[in-house]
Structures are given as structure tokens and as C-alpha cells.
Structure 1
Amino acid sequence: MLSASPSAIAAPPAPASWALELRDVHRHFGHTEIVRGVNLAVAATERVALIGPNGAGKSTLFHLISGRLRPSSGQIYLQGQRIDGKAAHDIHRLGLSRSFQISSLFPRLSVLDNLRCSLLWSLGYGYSFWHWLPGLRDVNARSHELLELLQLAPQCDTPAMQLSYAQQRALELGMTLASGASVILLDEPTAGMSRSETTHFIALIRQATQGRTLLTVEHDMEVVFGLADKIAVLVQGQIIAYDTPDKVRANPQVQAAYLGTAPEG
């Protein structure tokens, strides 16, 4: 039985047992509280979809996890290490990578060079962009592995700005994976895609994130129920349900708050 009470779904007390854990996280802007005591625990290799109405606080929560914003109070753990208050680049180096609603690519660089640049830090080259990229064998080998995984090998020499929208999103997914992060945050990854592109991209995400932990914000309920192992429902800055897709779908509070079906009685 799911409960609307955030305290009823509070995370257990051992942070090291979770890939990602939020404990009583709050964020306010002035007198307005956007995130109101969120508790969330995501196990390693789980795929969790974060859903909720517009204005529920989903993007703010993603910013808090990834370090773009700091919580007003509460704690966030990544692989058992506390990360709230750390800079975004430090959190990234600890093993968390995220994509954004708007593609962030190097538009004039080729698909291959976008991936090469993204791989430099994770393969030990830091930000030494003076390296001659074609001469870095490990970078090239991993880049071509990603090209095959993303089904972008035929476009390897194509400038990123000439790709289709769906291909750009696939490249951005590859750049997110290039860090080697164990925890991946995807913000509305299928937004703007056709139904056929969405179906293809869901399969691509499942394959590309295999063995990693995934937290994604998504409005398309077909994507949510086709991708997620668990669903967290955020309403007015609080998680009102966190469970398997079938149980969340059947929850009358979720139906009333988000899925558009009024509870009986």
C-alpha cells in the first residue's frame, strides 16, 4: 500500500547501500518552498522515472542532485558519499552525469570529435585539449564503441549540427555516458521526438544504461511505463508515491494528482 505521507517512504538509514539517496531535502527561494522534504533511495542499476505535474519541482530536484543548486536543508548521497554542497564538476567526477532538456553539443565538431572531447577526463587526460585527438588510441577505441552503441557510426564525420534532432539526442546520451559515470540523470530525453523515434530511443536508453543507475524526468507516460523499474511521483515539492509502475498506476492519489483519473468514492 502506497502512502501520501513523505515520512512513510523515507530512505532507510544506511547511505552506502544506495547508489543515490536524498534525505529530507528542502529548497526554497525566498519565502517560497519548491522542494519540501524529499526522501528518495535508488538502488544500483535501478531505472527510476520522476514524474509530476508542471511546477512540481522536478527540474529543481535535478539541479539539487547534480550540484547546480544547493539544498536549503537535507542531505544527498552518491554511492554513500555526501554530495550536497559540492560543486557540479566535483559531483560529476565522483560518478554522476546528467543531460539537459536542451541539447548541449559542440555543433561544428564532428560526431566523433564530440565523443572524443567528452572522453578526455574519464580516460585520464583532464582538460588538456592540446592533445592531438586522433593520436589517443584509448580515446579513439572507446569513441568508436560508443558510435556503434548509439548507432551513429555512419555519421561519425558529420558535424553535430547537421544531425537530425533524434540523432543529436543520441549523441548527447553518448556524451553523458562518456564520463564513465555510474549514475545517470536524463532530463526529458524523448521530448520533441516522434512516436517511432521515441520507441527507438527508449530501447537505446535501456541498452546504453545497462549496469548503471538511471534517474530520468519524463512526461510521456508510455516512456515512463516502458523504461522504469520504479516511479517516483512528485507533487507540490513532495514525493507522494514511490513504487513499481503497476503499483503507482493503481494508486488513487497518483491518479487524482497526475494521471487524470479521479479516485472512486
Structure 2
Amino acid sequence: MIFYKSEEEIDIIREGAQILGKAHGIVAENIKEGITTLSLDKLAYEFIRDSGGIPSFKGYNGFPNSLCISVNEVVVHGFPSPYVIKEGDIVSVDCGVHYKGYHSDSAYTHPIGNVNAETRLLLEKTKEALYLGIERAIVGNRMGDVAHAIQQHVEKEGFTVVRELVGHGIGKNLHEAPEVPNYGKRGQGLKLQAGLVMAIEPMVNLGTRNIVQENDGWTIRTRDRKPSAHFEHTVVVRKDKAEILTTFEYIEKVLR
């Protein structure tokens, strides 16, 4: 069942998304060669709690941390750990905030220092694909329009879309209907209506689209161990232009 959100509910999600955006900004300030991924998790946890939010991921189906931190060939759901970030790594940081009963969710993949040109292009095109998908998230379009925009943009560069993992509706629950795939055909799938809040999140691989799950039951990596990029926003379907509820503003301030 799909739960369409009222303007009051959307306001709460937007408020919580500001906490989320600032938590991402704190991670962006500190993510660099020589720091452990576990120390980034601690910073995000403390900020979210001090700001009146609850980390959405911590304890979710037993997940132990506030952030999913996925390095290089890890697609999503990586555990923060004593791993020390190195020059040339790409590090995906996925975070959710539960605030006043509603969740928001976003992800950003960071290049660390001197990343090779092919991998930088992967990050650039995956981020562009996110925004192209969001452009299609308007009343009257179909889910396939969103998915196709993402798929065609990255595939024309020779990259591949992960198919087993999808975006999702979001609200009182972190994961709600509908599923939001990153591949599909224009004009097919759910007809989009005003008030649908969903997390759009392209997961794109440099090599083949095939993935495997590690024995920890969480970590998803590329089968060929080539890099994978992940960008995500929580958005609401509107009549003429989708509204992005989450923000990369605080990350981009650091990067400027």
C-alpha cells in the first residue's frame, strides 16, 4: 500500500532532512586519507542525536551503525569499521534520520584525493543521473520514466545499473512502497501522484552490473570488484517539478 503524504507530513520530513544534510556536511568536513570509517560514524551519530533526531539505520534489522559506509567495490550497506581511508578511494556515505515520526534518507559518494579519471567519471555521471531521474518525478509520469532517465544516462557512458537493489517510498517507515528501480521503460510502471515521497538512489558500477552479498549478511559488493557509485535524495512528487527534500548543500559548502 502506498501512503501519500500531506503537506504537514512533508514539512516534518523536510525539517528532518536538514538535520540529515548537516550530518552529511560534518562527514564531508572530516572524510580524508588517514581517518577510519568508524570515526565518521561516531561523528554523525552524535550530531544527529544532539539535533533531536534518531539515526534511521542504527538497529534497523540489526544493523549496528548510523551510517552505511561503502568503499570502492562495495555498492551499499558497508559497515563502518577500523578501515583507514586511503588516497584514491571512493567512499559512499548513506544516512537516514528519523525525526518527529518520519524518515529521510540520502547518500553521497566522495572521491578521496587523486582518484583515476574513469572512476571520477563514474561518480559524475551517477550524480547527474540522480537529478535526471528526479526531473521525471512529476504528476502524470510513470515510474519507468524516472528509471529510464537514470539507466540511459549511465549506460551511454558504458557503466551498468545494479538491478537487485532499488530506491523506495519513505515516511513513517524507512522503506515503504513503491519500489523505485534505476532501470526500466518509459511509460511503464506506477503512475506518479502528488504527495508521493520517495528515495531515488542510483547505484552504478564501473564494470558489470553483477553483485554479491558478503557473509556478514549486509555488505553488497560488485562481483568483479570494480568500483561502484551511489547518490540518493528523498523527493516528493509535485505537479510541475519534483521537490528535493534532502540536501547536498552542506557537503558542497565543504567542497567549494
TM-score (norm 2): 0.30
User: Greater CA radius of gyration, 1 or 2?
Assistant: 1
TM-score (norm 1): 0.29
